[in-house]
Amino acid sequence: MPGRTQQLLYSEIALDLSWSEDELPQVERTKHVHALHPYLGKYVPQLVEFFLDRHFAPGDCVYDPFVGSGTTLVEANVFGAAAVGCDISEFNCVLSRVKTARYSLASLELGLKVALEEARLAGPRDVNGETAWLREWFSPTALAQLIAYREAIEGLDDPIRDVAKVVLSRSARSARLTTHFDLDFPKAPVTAAYFCHKHKRICAPVQEAAKFLRRYTLDTLRRIRDFATIRSTRTVEVIHGSAPSIKLPMEPTGIVTSPPYPGLIDYHEQHRYAYELLGLVDRRAEEIGAAAKGRSRIALAAYVDATAEVFANARRQLPNGAPVIIVVNDSQGLYPEILERSGLKLEERLTRHVNRRTGRRSGEFFEDVLVCRTT
């Protein structure tokens, strides 16, 4: 916004949605299950809380057609609403189910700790049968430890096995042959010592995974226990499917969602280690706005078509006048057409100031919250 004073700029921003670090510290943004696994592109839970309080009531049913890491579903459950989410990424669905499932906490702790011990006691594992990608991105020792844990969790019952899959994926993310300061966007494996911008000294790539499996097992148990004290008994459904055509298993009363930004993040590639280790179904060709598709005119037109189909399909399953809250950085000006084609009426457009606080992604940006109604 060139040529505008800071005072004028902030007069146009929804300050009650633009939290500073002091107002909203990291420990609150990543409370309980929200930090079970790193995930790029998610919004803070406090944003969902704000719009649930404003536009929904306990007993409602909230739909998120771009469920991502499950932030909307978690907050809807705490609020006392049923929730249903859909995503084309199988990993996103696994993660969202793990966050929102109900567990016998004693059985969960026993199952995860037994699997961890079985993996520790396992003998050497042959990594030659693993994919070329895994053998390139992990040291032989780290990969063997991940394989041993993968084998140890095969005998666990659902939903405990899915929790263990998230522990495995989170450990694999940290155990890759990459620099400590570039876990989000590593371009190639790092096999030699390097100057670490995070620790300000010479560091070496990680050679083991066992320490991460131990650390994240304990952290996962703590976070699930914390969430169990505040969760409601409301139903949560997660569907691995295509949002433009999905038939929902329950009737939602409204939507809170954040669609992918075109050409920014490949939601399958960012969790490639999970897909490779767990043999998950890769449906990246169906992703809306994937980074690999870029931002050409053709790509943006395809994004508009697909996103409009998602909301049009959702509108047909919503009552008239239902609230539809869309959090998006519409720098390309695509959403007026998307809303018109979806049959959604824009009631309010709020601009919020967002700080990037983690990793090496310094700086800030602005995003919009589109408050709409079905017609």
- Pick from 77-81, 155-159, 345-349, 362-366: least confident: 362-366
Q: What is the mean pLDDT of residues 22-33?
A: 92
Q: What is the mean pLDDT of residues 174-186?
A: 91
Helix, coil or strand: residue 333: coil
Task: Give pLDDT tens digits for 226-274.
Answer: 999 999 999 999 999 999 999 999 999 999 999 999 999 899 999 999 9
Confidence of residue 41 (pLDDT cuts 50, 70, 90): confident
- pLDDT score for 3: 44
Q: Which of 299, 368, 356 is nearest to 328 (CA)?
A: 368
Q: What is the mean pLDDT of residues 27-37?
A: 96
Q: What is the mean pLDDT of residues 132-154?
A: 98
Q: What predicted TM-score, i.e. pTM, was given to this entire model? A: 0.93
Question: Which position has the higher pLDDT, 49 or 17?
Answer: 49
- pLDDT score for 335: 98
Query: Distance between CA atoms of 167 and 163, rounded to whole angstroms?
Result: 6
Domain residue ranges in the chain:
6-88+237-265+293-374, 105-228
Q: What is the mean pLDDT of residues 29-53?
A: 96
Pick the CATH number of 6-88+237-265+293-374 from 3.40.50.410, 1.20.120.1750, 1.10.620.20, 3.40.50.150: 3.40.50.150
Instruction: Say how many C-beta atoms besides its own lie within 10 A of residue 176's C-beta.
Output: 22
Q: What is the DSSP string of 117-159?
A: HHHHH------TTS-HHHHHHS-HHHHHHHHHHHHHGGGPPTT
Helix (H) or strand (E) holding 338: helix 335-342
- pLDDT score for 185: 83
- pLDDT score for 363: 55
Phi, psi torsion values for 55, nearest 5 degrees: -120, -5
Task: Give pLDDT tens digits for 294-316.
Answer: 999 999 999 999 999 999 999 99
Question: Which position has the higher pLDDT, 342 or 12?
Answer: 342
- pLDDT score for 18: 87
288 burial (CB, 10 Å; 0-12 / 13-18 / 19+) is: buried
